[in-house]
Amino acid sequence: MSKPGKKPTTANPTIRLIGLGETGVKLVETLAMIAPEGVVAHSLDTDNRSLSRCHQSRTFLLGQAIPCGLGTGGDSALARAAVESDSDELAGIVDDADLVFIVAGMGGGTGTGAAPFLANLAKQAGALVVGVAATPFDCEGIQRCNQAIGGLRDLKQVADAVFHFPNQDVIQLADADLGLHRALDIANRHLCEAVLGVSRMLLEPGMLNVSFADLQSLLRDRHSLGAVVHVEATGDDRTDDAMEKLLSHPAIRGGETLKEAGSLLVNFSGAEVTMAEMNAVTSAIGDRASAARLVVGASGHGSGETLQLTVVIAHAGKLAESEQDDASLKTSPSSQASAPGYSDPFTSPRADSYLDLGSEPGSSNRGGFAYTPPAPTADALSPECRNDLIQEAAKEEPNRAKRRKIVQEMLPLEIVSKGRFENSEPTIHKGEDLDQPTYIRRGVILN
Amino acid sequence: MNGSQIIVGLEIGTSKVCVAVGEVSGGQAVNIIGLGQAKSRGVRKGEIIDVALAEEDVRNAIVEAEQVADVEIRSVFLGVTGSHIRGFNNTGVHPVVSADREITGDDIQDVIKNAKAINLPTDHSVVHVIRQHFRVDGQDGVLNPEGMLGAKIEVDVHVVSGRYNRLQNPIRLVNGLHLEVDDIASSALATSLAILGTEQKELGTLVIDLGAGVTEYAVYSAGVIKHTGVLAVGGDHVSNDLAYGLKVPLARAEQIKIEHGSALIDPGARDRKIDLSDDSLIPGRRVNLGHLQKIMSMRLQETFELIAKDIGQAGLIEYLRAGVVLSGGGARIPHITKLARDVFNLPVAIGRSSTVSGVKNALDEPEFATSVGLIKFGAFQAQAAPRRAGFGRVIRRQVAALFGR
Ligand SMILES: Nc1nc2c(ncn2[C@@H]2O[C@H](COP(=O)(O)OP(=O)(O)OP(=O)(O)O)[C@@H](O)[C@H]2O)c(=O)[nH]1
Ligand SMILES: Nc1ncnc2c1ncn2[C@@H]1O[C@H](COP(=O)(O)OP(=O)(O)OP(=O)(O)O)[C@@H](O)[C@H]1O
Ligand SMILES: [Mg+2]
Ligand SMILES: [Mg+2]
């Protein structure tokens, strides 16, 4: 399916960062501001509103004809149709890339439906493809979680590696009455660090250089579900401190992740990292991950006293599993499950089920939905989450109503671009984006 | 020029660049002798995003003003705005050390110096420090403590600060046109200078400038500035909302807004349609007037509510005995005063540049208040430092004289 990796050159690898759907776009916008030079950021969505908030990245509206800028309302098949119709333009975006990050929140329509397709395009163009995916909170409901699981699996089947961060991990880590915004911020930070860590490692000049080739040999065609963990520490005990932070990172799951890792890439950066410090950290990690291949790198960059540690973790033995995925899809009772972009849902939205993706064929029989419903229903939610989601739904409602109408009447639709506010700082007031029309934020339907 | 001096105010606004030329004679009286204007293309939300375009527009406005006023412009007072501008109050404290406890001029200097020692983020710099009131041993509302007896003297000041780099952008642009910047002033303050009389400042007034890119506001009470703020929301947002909601191109939305806009919803207009048939892009399209009014009134109401909330949190609503005064292009929106009255529950008027004389339209159009106010700002400064016409940015500003009494 994919061409072998491009021949190594002395120049820096070309890195494309592609955000899909609202979550992906949001993350890419943040990353574009802080990513090292040489990373080109793109925001792709079916929803004009999220693109209109982009100021740092190149935007592309998926599905000009349908859903014509109005989002998918959770329908991943619609997103899939949109990306397919745009495949020439999309191929142009990934054309020259060595490394493509595909960033998306799974569980909605756009990210879930579009990410696997785009990953496939990038793969075919010969790039190393790394997915970076968030998955929903448990309280978003089983259906949304199932849709996310399906999307994640589809993405994993085509991408070389997928770094996955379940939003639910934040809840398990922090206290329960954390606000939704704050929780997403924490999740987003972890997701951003994954991309940043890897791109810095590749692009910033180093003493012990981790090359693109190293990364390729670690990840290419493994279809692994892994994680990137980035921690920082200062002070006299910065190595101990960094290790402590690493081990308490949700993605490490108390060391489990390291134990299961097939290969590990550890990169140090900081103004004065000593050999002793590097030894201490690598052996501490090595002890907890005896079976893993370990690649170590170091770059002299970083600020002052801070030691920065980036650990790329790829799981073992996933090459075989991806075949198992295919098999389980074929034997699935669901009639649509073998169509790409549709998933075969699990019943339990527990975070663990993401880690077991594909390796537990039995569990896939528990579900038995013929299709993936678009959005969570309010009854499936725990009370504290319901309010947030209802508000969210209120925002989406006019959107969906409009879409239906347009499909019926087939009106030609002018698309309002982010035009006026394109190059200016977004107006965020107490977390609300005031550049968006007030009536939309208030959920008013014009009829 | 005997005894008269030319002072120029420049606002690089989001929708227009405006240059006002004033002649100051006999120390105080300001007479507007010319106005230059150009459509602004390189500015969003009050800040320059395209230097080349903005430069061209500023140059055109300056040239026009020079022709109309028949003067050569060498320097300007420049209005600054944008979401990075902050206004807040600070207090300076100073112990009176002299044996007889009589407060001297030095004590006053020291307490003001203390009030200016503000802990700003490193990339921020001060635009104004404006004296409000003194307190002597806790006694409030002292205007001039010199000669009074006391152990502790305090002063309240209003500070306006902004991001250094973002303040520099318009200054650099103006310098690039071989013009000097006499000084910068917060646009919100300049606007209040133009449209508020002594009585309004004394009784308590909220000034709101509804611009294209930003909405600026300032509160005066007891004769001094109490509060300032900038919201990076303006007429452009109204147009953008309409473009989105009515599905018309942005330029078209702007036009519909001016022709059919309203700050309030007229129930009779609910199902009325506006014909866009003259628009070749969208043959036969009609838009719903009720939708237009709904979209527009929601945005404007929200803008006022955000300001009301901020003023309320500062505890200033009950001090606004002279009500609210509106300026900027947004003041032209039909029924805008009614909407503001509903939100603030206060009397609302449209501001006129009443405190100056001269070219009629400069005084009557709400859009020009900022530039006219900048001339007033300049006139105060010139008065404070009379020998330094065209004095450059280093001037020691006597802002207390200006915004205080
Ligand atoms: N980490 C993180 N996850 C998010 C954020 N916003 C939403 N999500 C999660 O991502 C999932 C997908 O949501 P979106 O990204 O809004 O969906 P989309 O891809 O735009 O899809 P449609 O709008 O349905 O077309 C949600 O179920 C949430 O769990 C965010 O800011 N950070
Ligand atoms: N009759 C009207 N109805 C509605 N809006 C109007 C009307 N006249 C002017 N406007 C709006 O007023 C705005 C221009 O106001 P103004 O000239 O005060 O802004 P500016 O000084 O250029 O911008 P800023 O101060 O925000 O940088 C534009 O958005 C314009 O659409
Ligand atoms: Mg979306
Ligand atoms: Mg203005």
Q: Packing angle between helix A21-34 and helix A110-124, nearest 10 degrees?
A: 60
Mean pLDDT, rounded, for A152-160: 91
**DSSP letters for A202-218:** HHS--SBPPPHHHHHHH
The residues near B102 (Cβ < 8 Å, ≥ 6 apart) are B96, B147, B148, B149
**Gap from CA of A215 to ligand 1 centroid (Å):** 28
**Which pLDDT score, from 0 to 100, does residue B384 have?**
65
B58, containing H or E segment: helix B51-69
> Whole-angstrom Cα distance, residue A61 to residue B47?
28
The residues near A30 (Cβ < 8 Å, ≥ 6 apart) are A188, A192
**Which pLDDT score, from 0 to 100, does residue B325 have?**
97
Determine, yes or no, domain membership for B110. yes
Minimal C-alpha gap between B56 and chain A (Å) = 19
Smallest CA–CA distance from B14 into chain A, residue: A420
> Whole-angstrom Cα distance, residue B135 to residue B141?
6
**DSSP letters for B74-86:** -EEEEEE-STT-E
Q: How confident is the model at residue A406 (pLDDT cuts 50, 70, 90)?
A: very low
Q: How many domains does chain B have?
A: 2
Residues (pLDDT < 50) of chain B are: 1, 386-405
Residue located via tokens 């009443």: B354
Q: Do A421 and B236 lie within an 8 Å CB cutoff?
A: yes
**Which pLDDT score, from 0 to 100, does residue B273 have?**
86
Q: Do A429 and B237 lie within an 8 Å CB cutoff?
A: no
**Which pLDDT score, from 0 to 100, does residue A174 have?**
64
Determine, yes or no, domain membership for B174. no
Minimal C-alpha gap between B375 and chain A (Å) = 29
Q: Does residue A378 surpass a pLDDT of 50?
A: no
Question: Which residue segments constitute the domains of chain A, with CATH numbers given?
Answer: 15-225+319-359 (3.40.50.1440)
Q: How far is CA A85 from CA A90, A209, B392, in A?
A: 10, 41, 60
B139-142 and B124-136: which strand pairing? antiparallel
The residues near A189 (Cβ < 8 Å, ≥ 6 apart) are none
pLDDT in tens, B73-89: 999 999 999 999 999 99
> Whole-angstrom Cα distance, residue B241 to residue B237?
6
Mean pLDDT, rounded, for A188-217: 81
B348 touches chain A (CB under 8 A): no
Among B294, B311, B330, give the residue marking a domain's end. Answer: B294
Determine, yes or no, domain membership for B107. yes
> Whole-angstrom Cα distance, residue B360 to residue B357?
8
Among B268, B294, B320, give the residue marking a domain's end. Answer: B294
Determine, yes or no, domain membership for B268. yes
Strands (E), B26-123: 29-39, 43-44, 47-48, 75-80, 86-95
Which range among A246-250, A252-256, B278-282 shows the weakest confidence by mean pLDDT?
B278-282
What is the residue with the minimal CA distance to atom 28 of ligand 1? Answer: A136
Q: How far is CA B223 from CA B15, B60, B186, in A?
A: 32, 38, 18
**Which pLDDT score, from 0 to 100, does residue B84 have?**
94
Mean pLDDT, rounded, for A97-125: 95
**Gap from CA of B374 to ligand 4 centroid (Å):** 12
Q: Does residue A364 surpass a pLDDT of 60?
A: no
The residues near A346 (Cβ < 8 Å, ≥ 6 apart) are A146, A149, A353, A363, A364, A366, A367
Which of A50, A52, A409, A414 should be substituted to probe chain B, the one whose Cβ sees the most B Cβ atoms within 10 Å? A414
Determine, yes or no, domain membership for B366. no
Counting residues of chain A whose pLDDT is more than 70, the rounded percentage is 71
Residue located via tokens 């200006």: B402
Q: How high is the ipTM of this complex?
A: 0.89
The pTM assigned to this predicted structure is: 0.55
The residues near B109 (Cβ < 8 Å, ≥ 6 apart) are none
B299 touches chain A (CB under 8 A): yes
Q: How far is CA B393 from CA B51, B133, B179, in A?
A: 21, 27, 12
Q: Dihedral (C-alpha) B173, B175, B180, B184: value to the nearest 10 degrees? A: 40
Q: Does residue A336 surpass a pLDDT of 90?
A: no
Q: Indicate the length of chain A as a whole number.
A: 447
**Which pLDDT score, from 0 to 100, does residue B394 have?**
33
Q: How confident is the model at residue A414 (pLDDT cuts 50, 70, 90)?
A: very low
> Whole-angstrom Cα distance, residue A365 to residue B278?
61
In terms of Cβ atoms closer than 10 Å to its own Cβ (0-12, 13-18, 19+), residue A59 is buried
**Gap from CA of A447 to ligand 2 centroid (Å):** 29
> Whole-angstrom Cα distance, residue A344 to residue B293?
47
B251 touches chain A (CB under 8 A): no
**Which pLDDT score, from 0 to 100, does residue B391 have?**
37
Whether B255 contacts B281, CB under 8 Å: no
Minimal C-alpha gap between B361 and chain A (Å) = 29
Q: Ligand 2: which of B367, B368, B372 to mutate, most ligand atoms within 8 Å of CB?
A: B367
- Ion ligand 4: protein residues whose beta carbon lies under 5 Å: B 13, 211, 370
Q: Does residue A386 surpass a pLDDT of 50?
A: no
Q: How confident is the model at residue A407 (pLDDT cuts 50, 70, 90)?
A: very low
**Which pLDDT score, from 0 to 100, does residue A397 have?**
37
Mean pLDDT, rounded, for A128-154: 91
**What CATH number is associated with residue B269?**
3.90.640
**Which pLDDT score, from 0 to 100, does residue B373 have?**
94
B248 touches chain A (CB under 8 A): yes
Strands (E), A80-160: 99-105, 128-135
Mean pLDDT, rounded, for A370-399: 39
8-state DSSP, A4:
P
Among B108, B134, B160, give the residue marking a domain's end. Answer: B160
The encoded tokens of residue A316 equal 């073992």
**Gap from CA of B235 to ligand 2 centroid (Å):** 6
The residues near B303 (Cβ < 8 Å, ≥ 6 apart) are B210, B215, B231, B233
Residues near ligand 2 (Cβ within 6 A): B 11, 13-16, 40, 46, 211-214, 234-236, 254, 257-258, 261, 328-330, 332-333, 367
**Which pLDDT score, from 0 to 100, does residue A411 have?**
26
Q: What is the residue range of B283's domain?
A: 235-294
Q: Does residue A419 surpass a pLDDT of 50?
A: yes
Q: Do B240 and A420 lie within an 8 Å CB cutoff?
A: yes
**What CATH number is associated with residue B150?**
3.30.1490.110
**DSSP letters for A356-417:** TTTT-GGGGGS---SS--SS--GGGS-HHHHHHHHHHHHHHHHHHHHHHHHHHH----PPPP
Which range among A202-206, A222-226, B77-81 shows the weakest confidence by mean pLDDT?
A202-206
Determine, yes or no, domain membership for B352. no
pLDDT in tens, B193-227: 999 999 999 999 999 999 999 999 999 999 999 99
Query: What's CA A37's distance to the chain center, in Å?
Result: 21
Query: What's CA B112's distance to the chain center, in Å?
Result: 25
**Which pLDDT score, from 0 to 100, does residue B27 have?**
61
pLDDT in tens, A27-64: 998 888 777 788 899 999 999 888 888 888 899 999 88
Smallest CA–CA distance from B290 into chain A, residue: A446
The residues near B97 (Cβ < 8 Å, ≥ 6 apart) are none
Whether A82 contacts A57, CB under 8 Å: no
**Strand-by-strand arrangement of the B29-39 sheet:** B180-186, B75-80, B4-12, B16-25, B29-39, B357-358
Intra-chain end-to-end CA distance of chain B, in Å: 30
Q: How far is CA B281 from CA A64, B254, B287, B316, in A?
A: 18, 15, 14, 49
